[in-house]
Amino acid sequence: MLLAEALFHALKDRGAREVFGIPGDFALPYFKILEDSQILPLHTLSHEPGVGFAADAAGRFNSRLGIAAVTYGAGALNMVNPVAQAYVEKSPLVVISGAPGKLESMRGLGLHHQVKRIDSQYKIFEEITCAQIILDDAKTAPKLIADALDRCIEQSRPIYIEFPRDMVAVEVDPVPAFHPSCEDMEAARACAKEVLAHLNCAEKPCIMAGVEVRRFGLEEKLAELTHTLGIPVVTSFMARGILVDTEAPLIGTYLGLAGTEEVRKTVERSDGLLMLGVILSDTNFGVSKREIDMRSVVHAFDRDVHFAHHSYPNVPLEFLIEAMIEIASPLGDAKKLPAPTYPYGLKSDDSAIAPTDVACAVNDMFVKHGRMPIASDMGDCLFTAMDIENTALIAPGYYASMGPGVPAGLAIQATSGQRPLIMVGDGAFQMTGWELGNCRKYGWNPIVLLFNNKSWEMLRTFQPGPNYHDLDDWGFAAIAGPLGGKGVRVKTHAELIDALEAAQQDSSCFHLIEIMLERGEISQTLNRFVNAVKRLSVAK
Ligand SMILES: Cc1ncc(Cc2csc(CCOP(=O)(O)OP(=O)(O)O)c2C)c(N)n1
Ligand SMILES: [Mg+2]
């Protein structure tokens, strides 16, 4: 078969459901084979940052591979930021970049889209991917692809595939099937026994579930384990939106001083905290009132399990949880643990809207129409999402780049068929919100909540005063129509409630609800977060 077909079959066999991309002359040959072969559907978007955010989100949502296909130089380097975000937030993103053919790179001419040297792009992607390959040899290409894709899956991190345009149609053998690296189930059982003994000795055991639980598709298994154990389960900030509709005794999301006191005390006062797949980042732990004593923590991450003074190497999270399920017995009573609480019942009146009112209105809408998956951008919209009842959430909770909101929402619908709720600030919408213009051709119809405070408000809360936080009023609602959707600007509770209901009643296109907020009007969670950061930075 053709090398490009072998690559696309390998991606599909390992769970990829679609490709997001923008072609260029170095990529046209493999794009043509992608279209002709119909192995995977192609969704083109308008700007490579959107392609990267969308492909990353598709992978996160399905716990499968996300595929971004671009051209050399101007395309691939335009996508560095989203790939970096995928790397630190552990997303299995596959970057395919077209590239010059063997002969043209030997003519001694500077090629268009080339930077310093022909391999400059490869070197840049070495810094933000866990594996990099160049498909320049028909004999070795199938095995190279198999090994790189398997590392993408097992490490849940991006990989880089450089595809010279004179190689796409060479005849090759099929790519070998997924082959897990050796895992020692006996080591996992020994580790599980020690973890459970550790929890058993603790007076206040607690489990914190992190992003790896989602990335490796372990929510059901973790729910089974934690329901048996009957001890409190929290998610990290990054992992908000997992364990939805499961029997896990989930008491909330750990946000340190920015979250609820009950969750904070349960975590920070635990003498037996088990962290499963949790990224040790400032956004997950930066506003802890009390440093978590890592000597009493067991931390399973990146295929290692760390105790205070020793570790078990190469114990995948799936194997550890399986081994714990085999021998787990109750340590507490799940029924006695408190469930998270959320705001409901927004009054339909002429009051001005505050961010927390948006969460309230969305919760009311979910009660009436059913929950929706949420894609959130960085900004107060993400902190507001913490007050929305637990539902699948794709958000940049660690690397914290602006821009993923709209592309991620489109990806959720492309890859799952579910109508998403997108939450985005006006600043972030100015960056990638225009991808909504692609909804009509693909029949996507997200409901978009645009928090318009005419401001980079998050930055203003950290640094009040300068005018450079002020944004102009772009009148976003009026732009929705020409982009193929419907837009409405809302200023009161009643207008917001009516706009949400209208959007629910009309699935013919995307609905952009431009929510006007006063500058300085921020969510309670962001307010607690900023106060905690300020207090802790003074205290140190
Ligand atoms: C790609 C990128 N460039 C700059 C920044 C830095 C930043 C973090 S938050 C923020 C303001 C966001 O404004 P928005 O109106 O979207 O939301 P809100 O604060 O609620 O009003 C900026 C500029 C980040 N994170 N990513
Ligand atoms: Mg704003």
Handedness of CA 443, 446, 452, 456 (dihedral sign): negative
Residue 453 in marked binding region: yes
Tell me the average pLDDT across 424-443.
Answer: 98
Ligand nearest, relative to CA of residue 283: 1
Q: What atom of ligand 1 comes closest to residue 425's alpha carbon?
A: 16
Q: Are strands 159-164 and 93-99 parallel, antiparallel or unpaired?
A: parallel
* Summary mean pLDDT of the chain: 96
Please give the distance, rounded to the nearest whole angstrom, from the Cα atom of residue 329 to the centre of ligand 2: 49
Please give the distance, rounded to the nearest whole angstrom, from the Cα atom of residue 486 to the centre of ligand 2: 21
> Cα–Cα distance between 519 and 517 in angstroms, integer?
6
Structural domains in the chain, sorted by start:
3-164 (3.40.50.970), 185-336 (3.40.50.1220), 355-519 (3.40.50.970)
Bridge partner list, 305: 300, 312
In sequence order, what are the residues at sequence separation of 6 or more whose Cβ sits closer than 8 angstroms to the Cβ of residue 309?
Answer: none
Cα Rg for the chain, rounded, in angstroms?
24
Residue 467 in marked binding region: no
Environment class of 330 (CB within 10 Å of its CB; exposed 0-12, middle 13-18, buried 19+): exposed
Ligand nearest, relative to CA of residue 460: 1
Residues with CB under 6 A from ligand 1: 378-381, 400-403, 425-428, 451, 453, 455-459
* Closest to 342 measured CA to CA, from 360, 367, 368, 369: 360
Answer yes or no: is pLDDT of 86 > 90.
yes
Neighbours of ion ligand 2 (CB under 5 A): 425-427, 453, 455, 457
In which residue are the tokens 């951008």 written? 377
Q: What is the pLDDT of residues 63-84, one digit of tens each?
A: 999 999 999 999 999 999 999 9
Please give the distance, rounded to the nearest whole angstrom, from the Cα atom of residue 505 to the centre of ligand 1: 32
SS3 202: coil
Helices within 248-342 (DSSP H only):
261-268, 282-285, 317-327
Please give the distance, rounded to the nearest whole angstrom, from the Cα atom of residue 517 to the centre of ligand 1: 16
Percentage of the chain exceeding pLDDT 90:
90
Which protein residue has the closest C-alpha to ligand 1 atom 15?
Answer: 427
Using 50, 70 and 90 to split pLDDT, how confident is the model at 540? Answer: low
Environment class of 107 (CB within 10 Å of its CB; exposed 0-12, middle 13-18, buried 19+): exposed
Which protein residue has the closest C-alpha to ligand 1 atom 13?
Answer: 456
* Closest to 135 measured CA to CA, from 115, 159, 110: 159
Answer yes or no: is pLDDT of 292 > 90.
no
Specify the pLDDT at position 334.
86
Ligand nearest, relative to CA of residue 397: 1
> Cα–Cα distance between 279 and 146 in angstroms, integer?
27
Ligand nearest, relative to CA of residue 468: 1
Using 50, 70 and 90 to split pLDDT, how confident is the model at 539? Answer: low
| Test site for ligand 1: of 406, 449, 451, 458, most ligand atoms within 8 A of the Cβ | 458
Answer left, alpha or beta for residue 268, where phi above 0 means left and psi between -120 and 50 means alpha: alpha
| Test site for ligand 1: of 79, 283, 398, 459, most ligand atoms within 8 A of the Cβ | 459
Rounded to whole angstroms, what are the CA distances from 340 to 243, 290, 360, 386, 397? 13, 22, 14, 11, 20
What spatial distance separates the first Cα and last Cα of the chain, rounded to whole Å?
A: 62
Please report the ipTM that was assigned to this predicted complex.
0.99
Using 50, 70 and 90 to split pLDDT, how confident is the model at 471? Answer: very high
pTM: 0.97
CB 210 within 8 A of CB 238: yes
Please give the distance, rounded to the nearest whole angstrom, from the Cα atom of residue 41 to the centre of ligand 2: 35
Please give the distance, rounded to the nearest whole angstrom, from the Cα atom of residue 402 to the centre of ligand 1: 6
